[in-house]
Amino acid sequence: MKFLGKNLNNPLVLASGVLGNNKEILERVHKNGCGLVTMKSIGPAPRDGHKNPTVIDLGHGMINAVGLPTPGYAHMEEEWKALEKRNFPLNASIYGGSVKEYQAVAQFVTAKNPDFIEINISCPNSEEHGMIFGVNEKSAFDVVAAVKKVIDQPLIAKLTPQAPDIAKIAKACEDAGADAICAINTAGPGMVIDIEAQMPILAFKKGGLSGPMIKPIAIRCVYDIYKAVSIPIIGLGGVTTGEDAVEMIMAGASLVGIGSGVRYRGINIFNQVNQELNSWLTTHGTTLDKIRGAAHKTNCFQESAQ
Amino acid sequence: MKFLGKNLNNPLVLASGVLGNNKEILERVHKNGCGLVTMKSIGPAPRDGHKNPTVIDLGHGMINAVGLPTPGYAHMEEEWKALEKRNFPLNASIYGGSVKEYQAVAQFVTAKNPDFIEINISCPNSEEHGMIFGVNEKSAFDVVAAVKKVIDQPLIAKLTPQAPDIAKIAKACEDAGADAICAINTAGPGMVIDIEAQMPILAFKKGGLSGPMIKPIAIRCVYDIYKAVSIPIIGLGGVTTGEDAVEMIMAGASLVGIGSGVRYRGINIFNQVNQELNSWLTTHGTTLDKIRGAAHKTNCFQESAQ
Amino acid sequence: MKPVTDQTPIMLKLAHKRIDSANFATLFFDYSLDFKPGQFVMIWIPGMDEKPYTISHHNKSRFGITIEAKGLFSKKAVAMEEGDLMGFRGPFGNGFHTISSSNIAVVAGGCGMAPLAPLVETLDRDIIFIHGARSKEFLLYRHRFDIQRQICTDDGSQGHKGFVTDLLEKEIINRKKTDKQPLEMVYTCGPEIMMHRVFLLCESFDIPCQVSLERYMRCGFGVCGACVCGEQVVCKDGPVFDSKRLRTMDDFNKIALLKSGKPVNMDQYFSWRCQS
Amino acid sequence: MKPVTDQTPIMLKLAHKRIDSANFATLFFDYSLDFKPGQFVMIWIPGMDEKPYTISHHNKSRFGITIEAKGLFSKKAVAMEEGDLMGFRGPFGNGFHTISSSNIAVVAGGCGMAPLAPLVETLDRDIIFIHGARSKEFLLYRHRFDIQRQICTDDGSQGHKGFVTDLLEKEIINRKKTDKQPLEMVYTCGPEIMMHRVFLLCESFDIPCQVSLERYMRCGFGVCGACVCGEQVVCKDGPVFDSKRLRTMDDFNKIALLKSGKPVNMDQYFSWRCQS
Ligand SMILES: Cc1cc2nc3c(=O)[nH]c(=O)nc-3n(C[C@H](O)[C@H](O)[C@H](O)COP(=O)(O)OP(=O)(O)OC[C@H]3O[C@@H](n4cnc5c(N)ncnc54)[C@H](O)[C@@H]3O)c2cc1C
Ligand SMILES: Cc1cc2nc3c(=O)[nH]c(=O)nc-3n(C[C@H](O)[C@H](O)[C@H](O)COP(=O)(O)OP(=O)(O)OC[C@H]3O[C@@H](n4cnc5c(N)ncnc54)[C@H](O)[C@@H]3O)c2cc1C
Ligand SMILES: Cc1cc2nc3c(=O)[nH]c(=O)nc-3n(C[C@H](O)[C@H](O)[C@H](O)COP(=O)(O)O)c2cc1C
Ligand SMILES: Cc1cc2nc3c(=O)[nH]c(=O)nc-3n(C[C@H](O)[C@H](O)[C@H](O)COP(=O)(O)O)c2cc1C
Ligand code: FES
Ligand code: FES
């Protein structure tokens, strides 16, 4: 299939921050049935991230505050050298604390020629007192427009469900030149307190929620964004089965991302979801293109009932 | 125990919109171990709410879009007559679509002398293009201040986690004269699509999330609010066990609400949670007052680790 | 197939539709449902609404529901065609508490036969089985049982002209006179006013009974409070209530909540239900 | 007690602390853990950090971990007092694949004895058991086994002065010479450079081996990617890897990721680990 002019084996995407720490593991994920793999978000300066505990499974999903660890864009020559000779499509995720920082990272990364550049706008905006870029239309517009200017690859804007109206943010990104939307980043934030320790479990105290429990939020976001924009959407959040992927596509997604699902079904989840998705399509005699956005159509009953 | 000057048998609260549809069931919930029962939110005009499906269980929580059905404040004389002779403390929840409407409902309800009046500020503000009152500091302040002026009972402001910074909203409510905060209303919103029907399951399409899956969000909100205000907090969201209640109290709650939990353990959940809570306190040789906000204290390790 | 059916709906194809009469149809679905007589499911017609219906037929691989075409939803339901998809959540509710005895009466009024039919199939063959309806056309399942039925209709178009309570009272008194063993349980379902009369009759003769109530429902699992009848939650504590419980339920045959939550008397409740 | 231990941590009281030597202590906890030799748990000291540790002792009601006091965290851990609470998630990882044979060698280096000890307890009594350490003081569990150990130390303070590989090679060659059956499996844990040498030695004699790797970890369950070694996820695919897998792992004894995700050579990795 084609996505923004590139060929992908299938509509599945590895979520940023999950496994994507080196070329070999990205390749393995690709071999296990993932159409497009995303690297761990690359930031402006070396960062260790938070102390542990950083990632905790809650059974119906997980909570994490890894804290955006990164070698820093300027210190990744070897990784990029290895990735030059890759035989799989690559999505490079970037972040920054200011528009300038996003631009600096983007300028560097674009020269390494990934297939797509995804900008993670769920980071605190240092110029606006820690307000997250992605909860504000103006700052989302500004950062997308600034990055778009300096890169050669299609730009994917990755949004946070913490925005009061994610559809408006998506529209601002589209207006600023984004070629696709990726939704959603982690929900919440949440906190889990251990009552014996009398303390939040995560060292950073609060963390983002992911996995099955956030699927209804992700579906709602993709549904709203689909109504608001005409660029394609990577639907992400809580997908673990082929049926979940169908649901995401019916909400309006063109590609379907998987992150936490790796915890529940292993790396082979990509092959499994592809197989389940394809067998669902076959059983129902339909195609991805036909079901995309299907949940937006009203049917005869709806009209008579209103 | 005392709460805002009233005696309660225990720290548990029945969440608004759960069961509280008549005096008899409120009394039964009280008899089953609930310290304070909250009525279904009373609105300005008769309203049927949405068509079904309105409430769906998702296993690790539920999604609902009941649509605030209400007989309308002016049409509830018989209910109030029955409630006059009650032998349990009563929290009356109210809502409106404008500051004027909130005031009108409040004026009527205060005359019926419930023990507390809770204002549900998770409703769309008709004056501000459907923006929810509770996501904006100014509109939250305005509605609390206006209601406070016309009522004789302590005012509890019930907040939505959809606010970008719930602690700021809580502070605005405190500044406007709120006597307590209740957090949280449902999270999300979310959407669940049935892939065979190719349609959102809820008739209203989107709905609020509640139950165990939102507990981390509720805990984070209560934790943040506890830091920001000095009035007491009713912690609510995903509580189903005594341990959950302990967690809520350690985050900073004075009382602990239960709504969806009734699905998972029946009406007797209140007795069960009380018993579990008390036995936890006994085993640990501590009291509610001692553990309240405990998760905010740093310990020796934390200092050495930073 | 999903193992859990009381969460998000499962969509099932209408396997077979049987027209029972001008007003009734029974819809069959091929699905192995965990079930106890008296329980109900929430039926979803996507894009339209979702309503509670009793399971009227049940075996290991198939279940059926019998619907009276009254309003918008039930008319749409009986108009569904084989192969069409409908959503199901459930089963919900407590179901009938069965006792092993042959001194039992089952009293069905109209569509109230639906929940009672699978119950009757689990009971002794020599129970008392009374069946009433507005008229002949509303008598369900004519050939379903190998148990003898005592029929009555409001208009006398079949059987006794009059109420089911006439027949029940006669049976009770007859047993007294002939020194037969008294009834040990009366199961009943039908219009609430009928069930109330059955209840009062049983009370006056000290016979325990079980009735199946109906209220407007939303969640079906005891959370939303739409269906409360006094302090009882009909979807969860019921829909079946026994005499002991009924004695404490002031709202039985008196008060029901409208969709808005407004409590009204039964007349108003039914006239609201007739609006559409 | 919570049935699931690999989600949020369970807090356990330190039941007993045994000082093994100047640098080692073993902490015991009364909890019935599902466990396979070679698996590890994430240990949380609230307010401080959370790190992976192998289970070194295990029975139905108690388990133990042996910790070398090196840095801030491990020093704090061995300083814990009986009754203090620590958090546990796990066990994680694959554990050793055991075979039933007596032609087995177990090669432990320093603290690498920790995961091997419960393995040895499940093996034949006449296996080859080689144990090396920097010096006498670093030799763990002197009186634990009824199996004979061949000891070596870097400084010659006990046993052979030299490396574990010297003893292993001697054993392999000796078996060849004396027509004894060749080794069918070598299990090893210790510094990565030592394990790599054991692996190369085994390769040259066509003996399969299993090694237990160590990387910086966050989640412990194969999601965050912190612990990748080439295309292998150490916390989930490992920590135990067999020869077949090791042959494909270019990063074995070469590359490890720092906390930031930066890949560095093993020297840099260890000097980073020494910073605190
Ligand atoms: C636990 C339970 C089990 C049920 N089982 C069945 C069943 O097996 N078969 C079945 O046909 N229905 C059953 N019902 C009723 C069903 O849920 C619907 O209310 C009914 O089908 C009418 O729906 P409608 O939308 O078509 O009618 P509406 O549009 O709501 O109303 C139109 C007409 O229906 C009549 N009506 C509607 N509801 C009621 C009521 N509650 N009591 C008396 N009259 C009413 C009105 O008098 C009017 O004639 C059950 C209800 C409950 C609560
Ligand atoms: C799967 C697994 C199982 C483990 N099992 C055990 C165990 O059973 N017992 C045990 O004591 N430790 C074990 N570790 C190591 C443990 O997790 C910590 O890394 C170790 O205790 C050091 O932590 P620290 O914070 O005290 O030291 P740091 O402050 O991180 O580092 C200070 C000192 O520790 C040394 N050091 C730290 N980490 C390593 C390393 N990975 N390799 C070599 N040297 C290192 C440094 O060379 C330096 O001397 C295991 C690690 C993994 C991944
Ligand atoms: C451990 C972990 C680390 C993550 N790190 C990043 C990151 O660096 N950049 C980013 O854009 N998203 C990050 N995410 C968010 C995921 O990419 C994804 O948006 C989210 O987890 C929802 O998808 P899921 O439910 O399939 O996990 C991370 C998620 C997890 C669980
Ligand atoms: C079916 C349902 C109806 C609700 N109706 C109301 C309401 O009318 N007013 C209100 O303030 N909150 C309402 N809520 C929100 C609850 O009071 C509560 O804030 C939320 O469900 C979180 O608590 P829980 O996880 O314990 O259910 C409703 C929740 C549910 C599940
Ligand atoms: S239908 Fe919701 S409580 Fe009965
Ligand atoms: S520690 Fe997270 S993947 Fe291994």
Q: Which CATH number fits domain D94-212: 1.10.1200.10, 3.40.50.80, 3.90.1140.10, 3.90.25.10?
A: 3.40.50.80
**Could you tell me the distance, in angstroms and rounded to a whole number, from the CA of residue A177 to the centre of ligand 2?**
48
Q: Which of B34, B123, B173, B182 is catalytic?
A: B123
| Residues whose CB is less than 8 angstroms from the CB of residue B33 and which lie 6 or more positions away in sequence, other chains included | B9, B10, B12, B268, B270, B271, B272, B273, B274
Task: Using DSSP, state whether A195 is helix, strand or coil.
Answer: coil
Q: Which residues span the domain enclosing A39? A: 2-305
- What does the pLDDT read at residue C4? 62
Q: What angle do CA C147, C149, C152 make, to 5 degrees?
A: 170
Q: What is the DSSP letter of D126?
A: T
| Residue in B with minimal Cα distance to D80 | B301
Instruction: Calculate mean pLDDT across residues D53-78.
Output: 95
Distance (Å) from CA A18 to ligand 3 centroid: 6
Cβ contact (<8 Å) for D46 and B305?
Answer: no
Encoded tokens for D227: 């612990």
| Sole residue written with tokens 């091997």 | D116
| Cβ contact B259:B241 at 8 Å | no
Q: Mind listing the pLDDT tens digit for each residue in A186-229?
A: 999 999 999 999 999 999 999 999 999 999 999 999 999 999 99
Cα-to-centroid distance, C218 and ligand 6 (Å): 44
In DSSP notation, B131-180 reads -BGGGSHHHHHHHHHHHHHH-SS-EEEEEPTTSTTHHHHHHHHHHTT-SE
Q: How far apart are CA A168 and CA D68, in angstroms?
A: 54
Q: What is the CATH number of the domain that holds B58?
A: 3.20.20.70
User: Into how many domains does chain A fold?
Assistant: 1
Q: Which chains touch B (3 or more CB pairs under 8 A)?
A: A, C, D
Residue of B nearest to C87 (CA): B197
Domain boundaries, chain C: 10-92, 94-212, 215-276
User: Taking CA atoms, what residue in D is nearest to A198?
Assistant: D46
Centroid of ligand 3 to alpha carbon of C108 (angstroms): 58
Index of the ligand 6 atom closest to the CA of residue D227: 4
Considering every ligand atom shown, identify the ligand nearest to the alpha carbon of residue B264 and give its number.
Answer: 4
Pocket test for ligand 4, best of B160, B210, B219, B262 (most atoms within 8 A of CB): B210
DSSP per-residue string spanning D209-242: EEEE-----SSSSSSS-TTEETTEETTTT-SEEE
Please report the atom of ligand 3 found closest to the CA of residue A239.
Answer: 26
> Angle D35-D39-D42 (CA atoms, 0-180°, nearest 5)?
100
Chain D touched by A49 (CB under 8 Å): yes
Taking only residues 246 to 305 of chain A, the set having a beta carbon closer than 8 angstroms to any beta carbon of chain C reads 298-302, 304-305
- Give me chain C's average pLDDT, please: 93
pLDDT in tens, C87-119: 999 999 999 999 989 899 999 999 899 999 999
The reply to whether A221 belongs to the active site is: no
- Probe target for ligand 3 pocket from A13, A16, A48, A247, with the most ligand atoms within 8 Å of CB: A16
Q: What percent of chain C has pLDDT over 90?
A: 84
> What distance in angstroms lies between residue C9's CA and the mean position of ligand 5's atoms?
16
Superfamily of D10-92 according to CATH? Translation factors (2.40.30.10)
Report the pLDDT value the prediction gives residue B305, as an integer from 0 to 100: 37
**pTM score, two decimals?**
0.95
Provide the pLDDT confidence category of residue D5 given band limits of 50, 70 and 90.
confident
Q: What are D129's strand-pairing partners? A: D106
At D32 the three-state DSSP class reads coil
pLDDT in tens, B229-244: 999 999 999 999 999 9
Inspect the interface and report whether the beta carbons of B188 and A291 lie closer than 8 Å. Answer: no
Distance in Å from the first CA to the final CA of chain B = 39
Longest dimension (CA), chain B: 63
User: Tokens at residue B90, please?
Assistant: 């009563």
- Min CA distance, A160 vs chain B (Å)? 11
Torsion of CA A108, A113, A119, A120, to 10 degrees: -90
Q: Which one of B185, B217, B234, B248 would you pick to mutate in the ligand 4 pocket, going by the greatest count of ligand atoms within 8 A of its CB?
A: B185
Structure tokens at B278: 């008390």
- For ligand 4, whether the C-beta of B103 sits within 6 Å is no
| Cα A299 from Cα C58, distance rounded (Å) | 31
Distance, in Å, from the CA atom of A172 to the CA atom of A166, rounded to the nearest integer, reads: 10
C41 HSE (CA, 13 A, CB side): 34
Return the residue matching tokens 């330190």: D14
Mean pLDDT, range D28-53, rounded to an integer: 95
Q: Which of A123, A173, A182, A221 is catalytic?
A: A123
Whether D contacts C, i.e. 3 or more CB pairs less than 8 A apart, is: no
Q: Looking at the complex, does the CB of residue C3 fall below 8 Å from at least one CB of chain A?
A: no
The pLDDT assigned to D174 comes to 93
ipTM: 0.94
Q: Three-state SS for C125?
A: coil
Average pLDDT, chain A: 94
Task: Give per-residue pLDDT as tens, A252-266.
Answer: 999 999 999 999 999
User: Between chain A and chain D, how many beta carbons pairs sit less than 8 Å apart?
Assistant: 132
pLDDT value of position A299 = 55
Q: Which residue of B has its CA nearest to D45?
A: B301
In the predicted model, what is the mean pLDDT of chain D? 93
Q: Whose CA is nearest to atom 38 of ligand 2?
A: D273
Confidence band, pLDDT 50/70/90 cuts, at residue A126: confident
Sign of CA dihedral C245, C247, C248, C251: positive
- Measured CA to CA, the distance from residue C252 to residue C237 in angstroms comes to 14
Buried b / exposed e along C153-186 (16+ C-beta atoms within 10 A):
beeeebbbeebbbebbbebbeebeeeeeeebebb
Segment holding D177, helix H or strand E: helix D164-177
Tokens found for residue A95 = 């972040």
Q: How confident is the model at residue A298 (pLDDT cuts 50, 70, 90)?
A: low
C132 versus B299: the higher-pLDDT residue is C132
